[in-house]
Amino acid sequence: MIREEFLRLAADGYNRIPLACETLADFDTPLSIYLKLADQPNSYLLESVQGGEKWGRYSIIGLPCRTVLRVHDHHVSITVDGVETESHDVEDPLAFVETFKARYNVPTIAGLPRFNGGLVGYFGYDCVRYVEKRLGKCPNPDPLGVPDILLMVSDAVVVFDNLAGKMHAIVLADPAQADAYEQGQAQLQQLLEKLRQPITPRRGLDFSKQQAAEPVFRSSFTQDDYEKAVDTIKEYILAGDCMQVVPSQRMSIDFKAAPIDLYRALRCFNPTPYMYFFNFGDFHVVGSSPEVLVRVEDNLITVRPIAGTRPRGATEEADVALEEDLLSDDKEIAEHLMLIDLGRNDTGRVSEIGSVKLTEKMVIERYSNVMHIVSNVTGQLKAGLTAMDALRAILPAGTLSGAPKIRAMEIIDELEPVKRGVYGGAVGYFAWNGNMDTAIAIRTAVIKNGELHVQAGGGIVADSVPALEWEETINKRRAMFRAVALAEQTPD
């Protein structure tokens, strides 16, 4: 962008203007770019693998963010360079987030990647309490103590094109600052110079040891107590209170490895459509989620229910047999159909009448350790509504709560021993252009104070078998356990 165009956009009222440069980066990877440019607190890396086996075209590297918004219950804190600049107690934190985002008026620039910055981070499971007042405050202890919402103002990003081996470096310039255009261009040149520097070598991860014994985790449930919780849910179902509930267990372990090494292992063991590494300073969130929570792109809403699970087979023939078994399992099919209906209903609350469509129904997707039944629901966002309205309508996913959703969440409050926190919430971004892309926070580790915490659950219906439900939670966390074992390796 030339200086005259920058000044014209400033005169049009835009208070943040993207400046960008494109360069060949075929000797780099998204991970190496992250380590060169962004490996500091309040940074992130987002990657994607489609269908469990094909890398998505674009990866996003978020450079360290100066401004961070945190919400604990109804208290909002905004910090700039680590210093609190605003503090508010608000009735509706989600409305505050939307108002906060509106402070940034950013033009759409032709030729730039669709994502060139925004609010990036997570909304925890308990954000539903801002919408559904009947649930009240979470009654369970919160040993992790992480924010209910944490969003970084991502105003300097690198978008890596995995197909072309190119990258776009993008910084937002504030035209109210003196010499904003020149400073922005200088920042871009500094990024390019850092990119040319050699990366500090990291230790290798020895995949010949990847079958080492899984770490022994401390669980929030004993197996006996979890199975009793399943039986309690079945009693509620038989009494007509609900049709399905999705309980979970949290597993914790001492963890001394570098969090980025966990991400390195996880992206190899369990590549998924949503892979993320967040360095929030005092804690990290590292995950490989297979499931979109809600995406809004050009006002098209997408949700993608996943329900129905089998472990992967040792051979292609075994995989096919397991797929056939899964698709002939009446319990799994009933659960999945219930969640399709819930996804349609949630999407319909914020969609134009008649626009909700089931575009895929009960297809099998394979991942490293498990396979799932997956469907796809879309709808056209109602005129006058925003991506935040879609998030309000859909968080948390039915696959992480149950049906009917509010009663299922009340039962979860009753039976689970700790507050869920990040687990079951939304991880992703609200882009400056109004688009949103969020994953369900599953297959996700929270690393804080030398401990790693991962949570897994499963949908309970009337004919669920408690011992098998326990085993399903074990299968779902297996890729994370393997990645932990690899990241924790000690050199020979």
pLDDT < 50 positions in the chain: 492
Instruction: Specify whether 29 is catalytic.
Output: no
- Check residue 308 and give its pLDDT: 82
Determine if the pTM surpasses 0.75. Answer: yes
Q: pLDDT of 274-286, one tens digit each?
A: 999 999 999 999 9
Instruction: Specify whether 267 is catalytic.
Output: no
Considering the candidates 129, 372, 478, 482, report the single residue annotated as catalytic.
372
Considering the candidates 129, 304, 443, 482, report the single residue annotated as catalytic.
443
Instruction: Specify whether 34 is catalytic.
Output: no
How many other CB atoms are found less than 10 A from the CB of residue 127?
A: 21
Q: Which domains does the chain have, with CATH numbers?
A: 3-197+214-487 (3.60.120.10)
Question: Would you list the DSSP string of 436-464?
Answer: EEEEE--SEEEEETTEEEEEEE--B-TT-
Which among 250, 248, 245 has a CA at the least distance from the CA of 409? Answer: 245
Torsion of CA 278, 279, 285, 291, to 10 degrees: 0
- Check residue 334 and give its pLDDT: 86
- Check residue 54 and give its pLDDT: 53
Beta bridge partners of 244: 403
Distance in angstroms (rounded) separating the CA atoms of residues 492 and 485: 15
Instruction: Specify whether 459 is catalytic.
Output: yes
For residue 395, the 8-state DSSP code is P
Considering the candidates 67, 272, 347, 399, report the single residue annotated as catalytic.
399
Q: pLDDT of 338-361, one tens digit each?
A: 889 989 999 999 999 999 999 999
- Check residue 492 and give its pLDDT: 47
Instruction: Specify whether 458 is catalytic.
Output: no
How many other CB atoms are found less than 10 A from the CB of residue 321?
A: 13
Considering the candidates 70, 459, 478, 482, report the single residue annotated as catalytic.
459
Residue that is written with structure tokens 């948390």 in the block: 396
Considering the candidates 130, 367, 423, 429, report the single residue annotated as catalytic.
423
**Backbone φ and ψ of 127, nearest 5°:** -60, -20
Distance in angstroms (rounded) separating the CA atoms of residues 265 and 270: 8
- Check residue 270 and give its pLDDT: 81
**Backbone φ and ψ of 98, nearest 5°:** -65, -40
How many other CB atoms are found less than 10 A from the CB of residue 272?
A: 26
Phi-psi region of 380 (alpha: psi -120 to 50; beta: other; left: phi over 0): beta
CB 270 within 8 A of CB 286: no
Distance in angstroms (rounded) separating the CA atoms of residues 17 and 180: 10
